[in-house]
Amino acid sequence: MGKLLSPRIRDLGKITLIRDETPTETVKRYPHAGPLLSARWNEDLIAECWPDLLRMAGSLKYGQATASLVVGKWSAASRQNTLAAALKEWGMLRRTLHAAKYLSDPAYRRKIARQLNKGESLHALRRDLHYAQQGAVTKPALADQTDQAWCLTVLTNSVITWTTEYYSLAVRQLRAAGRDVPDELLAHISPAHSENVNFFGVITVDVEAELAKLDGGGWRPLRPTATESKI
């Protein structure tokens, strides 16, 4: 499907990974990870069901079926269902490959943690913005629920766009002042912050005074940078 699921692994010692050799040979070759490789890979089952697995992947990729529908259907299928067994076998294989890379590559682990932290900050921003009714979707009709979800998406994107634009202005100003701001550092910064957002109450704005503060490009003035002693 052109997508890769890279989750953070919890309770690594309790998950089931697969092997293609006998337990003795596996432990001998992988003395540390060998005990985790407790299941034998059924390659013949994957090969037999491969065309059906590709059709299912195509249905997901092109929107003919949702992932929740596929997971629900195959989770409810009987153990005798060949395609459900093949899908589970394929999932165990992908989990084994991911776990091997996760354990052997520290840079890969840091990348996953960084992406998860960005995702969590985005979820936190959505929760803060969706404070009415304690963040619950209260509309009974599906159309109204969809409208509420889209409104939250538009509002979240607006906050992120605003923050991103002013991050760009701040970076350009720092670089113009001779500060070294490497792109590698910016890759670790998420724009999903809400410290500058007033979620409650009423704000009285003097429109004319605020417009007078804008520069020639229509931007508000940036906050003064911290001194070197405070960094």
Q: Is this model's pTM higher than 0.85 or not?
A: no
Contacts of 230 (CB under 8 A, 6+ apart): none
Per-residue pLDDT reduced to its tens digit, 136-151 = 777 778 787 787 788 8
From the centroid of its chain, how far is CA 104? 22
Residue 200 DSSP label: S
* C-alpha span between 222 and 168 (Å, rounded): 11
* C-alpha span between 147 and 124 (Å, rounded): 21
Per-residue pLDDT reduced to its tens digit, 48-67 = 999 988 888 888 888 888 87
What kind and span of H or E run contains 133? none
* Total length of the chain: 231
Per-residue pLDDT reduced to its tens digit, 140-197 = 787 877 877 888 888 888 888 888 888 888 888 888 888 888 888 887 788 887 777 7
CA angle 105, 107, 108 (to 5 degrees): 65
